[in-house]
């Protein structure tokens, strides 16, 4: 195959596994389980699913259809579809670019934890203190970030069919099997049931002593909306890009449903593994459950490493399996982000009549991402002020948006560009180019009835939901506290 040509997926299953790979990421593992437990357990799940059906599904379907209709990545797809909205595509590549600057650091941490668990088999498995040691070691953080970027670089370099699809076809089933192993191990720990109750039983988060006060309904809606969006990889150009590589006969509505369901399933499964293990280990150590960190980076790299430490030498094996599965989840998301950025430049070159070079573009994109990720890696998620690089008051002001480099990058991508991009996308499709302009594409490979539902969602439900989600994200990232 000519490496300079635009690629394509070799099969629908290859596409599906890649899209699921993009959706399944750190958000599923450290975000969803804790948010679900804290925000009402089973009730949260229902709210999440309703949002996923009426908003997530419609936007997913729109992105895949936009990509496949135009055969182009985000920037050029918007340009082709609408004069007025052509600039929105840029939001859809700035966002993945910024996300990558910290996703790569977190992916690097996974590599580090894989290594220390293997070494731990011989020298004793380290515990939670290993995370502080890593955070305060910028050299090591940068090194593992570089390692992560090199892996992704090599995959993207090999193209869509030969790199992305191949990786996901092996990686996704492997992730699933590893997850099942970790769930079985977690459930056989004493006190694991407490963790399950926290995750599923409505009201148990307060009754069981995990949190003081149940969040209000606005806050639950807000949490579910933000989480759903990030977790499904929406408004990041990723699904437009993958859609543009998809064969014309494949069924877009069916694929969208499968992606949404699989992503939610893996998020619940991840919770079944991490929450019971973390809670069981905390209780066994005599901690109050409210003291156990059940979300975010410290869940992944401190709380859970402590669980492996508590298992003795054999913990090194489970640690290895667990961090390998998180690494696969991170890589499969990262390669979709890199691809969304790179395809823009590849398409632009073609549009100008130049010969696009995939290797050159991927190399440049990866180098720039790596350089920016050094900022994130060097301040250790805010635990280590790294003075010469602290512009924008980062580290000195305590507002959520600038308390460290990770939050700064996350604010502009997940907090602003992503919800704004999705809002503008639904307005563009619903009111400017009209839903019927995508019907042809949606009906290619599908012969059920969906026009009415789709057009209702994209015209009314999505814009309203997206204004709400945008306000929620602004409020939480800038610390306004509107929805508490």
Judged by the rule CB under 6 A, the positions of this chain that interact with ligand PHE are: 22-23, 25-28, 96, 230-231, 233, 236, 238, 333, 336-337
Q: What is the dihedral of CA 313, 317, 323, 325, to 10 degrees?
A: -160
Identity of the residue, 25 or 395, whose beta carbon is nearer to ligand PHE in the bound complex:
25
Dist. CA 454–CA 68, nearest whole Å: 17
Identity of the residue, 329 or 465, whose beta carbon is nearer to ligand PHE in the bound complex:
329
Taking the complex as a whole, how short is the minimal distance between the CB of residue 464 and ligand PHE, in angstroms?
A: 22
Identity of the residue, 25 or 171, whose beta carbon is nearer to ligand PHE in the bound complex:
25
Show the tokens assigned to 460. 């009314």
Identity of the residue, 125 or 424, whose beta carbon is nearer to ligand PHE in the bound complex:
424
Task: List, as one string, the DSSP characters of 104-117.
Answer: HHHHHHHHHHHHHH
Taking the complex as a whole, how short is the minimal distance between the CB of residue 96 and ligand PHE, in angstroms?
A: 6
Q: What is the dihedral of CA 165, 49, 290, 475, to 10 degrees?
A: 90
Return phi, psi of residue 222, to 5°: -65, -45
Taking the complex as a whole, how short is the minimal distance between the CB of residue 28 and ligand PHE, in angstroms?
A: 5
Q: Which residue is associated with the tokens 């002593």?
A: 209
Q: Which residue is associated with the tokens 């977790």?
A: 231
Identity of the residue, 98 or 277, whose beta carbon is nearer to ligand PHE in the bound complex:
98
Identity of the residue, 334 or 394, whose beta carbon is nearer to ligand PHE in the bound complex:
334
Dist. CA 240–CA 228, nearest whole Å: 18
Query: Which 8-state DSSP code applies to residue 290?
Result: G
Taking the complex as a whole, how short is the minimal distance between the CB of residue 326 and ligand PHE, in angstroms?
A: 10
Dist. CA 247–CA 243, nearest whole Å: 9
Hey, is 168 helix, strand or coil?
Answer: helix
Taking the complex as a whole, how short is the minimal distance between the CB of residue 301 and ligand PHE, in angstroms?
A: 15
Return phi, psi of residue 158, to 5°: -80, 0
Residue least distant from ligand PHE (Cβ): 25
Taking the complex as a whole, how short is the minimal distance between the CB of residue 71 and ligand PHE, in angstroms?
A: 20
Identity of the residue, 241 or 390, whose beta carbon is nearer to ligand PHE in the bound complex:
241
Taking the complex as a whole, how short is the minimal distance between the CB of residue 273 and ligand PHE, in angstroms?
A: 16
CB atoms within 10 A of CB 43: 17
């Amino acid at each position: 195959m000519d490496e300079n040509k635009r690629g394509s997926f070799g099969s629908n299953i290859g596409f599906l596994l890649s899209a699921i790979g993009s959706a399944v990421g750190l958000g599923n593992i450290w975000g969803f389980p804790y948010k679900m437990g804290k925000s009402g357990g089973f009730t949260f799940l229902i709210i999440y699913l309703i949002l996923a059906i009426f908003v997530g599904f419609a936007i997913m379907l729109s992105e895949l259809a936009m990509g496949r209709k135009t055969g182009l990545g985000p920037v050029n797809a918007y340009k082709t579809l609408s004069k007025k909205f052509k600039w929105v595509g840029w939001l859809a590549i700035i966002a993945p670019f910024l996300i990558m600057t910290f996703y790569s650091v977190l992916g690097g941490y996974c590599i580090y934890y894989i290594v220390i668990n293997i070494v731990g088999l011989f020298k004793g498995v380290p515990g939670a203190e290993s995370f502080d040691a890593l955070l305060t070691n910028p050299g090591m953080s940068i090194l593992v970030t570089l390692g992560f970027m090199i892996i992704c670089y090599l995959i993207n370099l090999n193209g869509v069919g030969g790199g992305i699809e191949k990786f996901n076809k092996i990686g996704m089933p492997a992730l699933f099997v590893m997850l099942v192993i970790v769930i079985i191990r977690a459930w056989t720990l004493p006190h694991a049931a407490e963790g399950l109750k926290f995750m599923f039983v409505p009201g148990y988060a307060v009754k069981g002593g995990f949190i003081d006060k149940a969040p209000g309904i606005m806050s639950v809606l807000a949490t579910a909306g933000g989480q759903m969006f990030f977790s499904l990889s929406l408004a990041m150009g990723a699904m437009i890009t993958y859609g543009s590589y998809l064969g014309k006969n494949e069924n877009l509505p069916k694929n969208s449903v499968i992606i949404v369901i699989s992503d939610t399933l893996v998020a619940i499964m991840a919770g079944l593994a991490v929450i019971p293990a973390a809670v069981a280990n905390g209780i066994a150590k005599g901690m109050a459950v409210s003291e156990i960190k059940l979300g975010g980076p410290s869940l992944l790299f401190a709380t859970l490493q402590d669980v492996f430490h508590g298992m003795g030498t054999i913990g090194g094996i489970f640690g290895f399996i667990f961090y390998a599965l998180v690494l696969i989840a991170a890589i499969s998301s990262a390669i979709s982000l890199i691809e969304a950025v790179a395809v823009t430049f590849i398409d632009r070159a073609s549009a100008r009549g130049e010969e696009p070079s995939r290797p050159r573009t991927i190399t440049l994109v990866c180098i720039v991402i790596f350089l920016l990720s050094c900022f994130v890696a060097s301040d250790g998620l805010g635990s280590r002020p790294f003075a010469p690089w602290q512009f924008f008051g980062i580290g000195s002001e305590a507002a959520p948006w600038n308390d460290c480099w990770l939050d700064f990058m996350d604010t502009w991508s997940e907090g602003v560009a992503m919800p704004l991009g999705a809002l503008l996308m639904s307005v563009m499709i619903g009111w400017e180019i009209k839903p019927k302009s995508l019907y042809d594409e949606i009906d290619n490979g599908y012969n059920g009835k969906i026009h009415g539902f789709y057009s209702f969602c994209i015209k009314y439900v999505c814009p309203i939901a997206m204004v709400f989600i945008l306000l929620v994200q602004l409020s939480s990232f800038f610390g306004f506290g509107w929805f508490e």
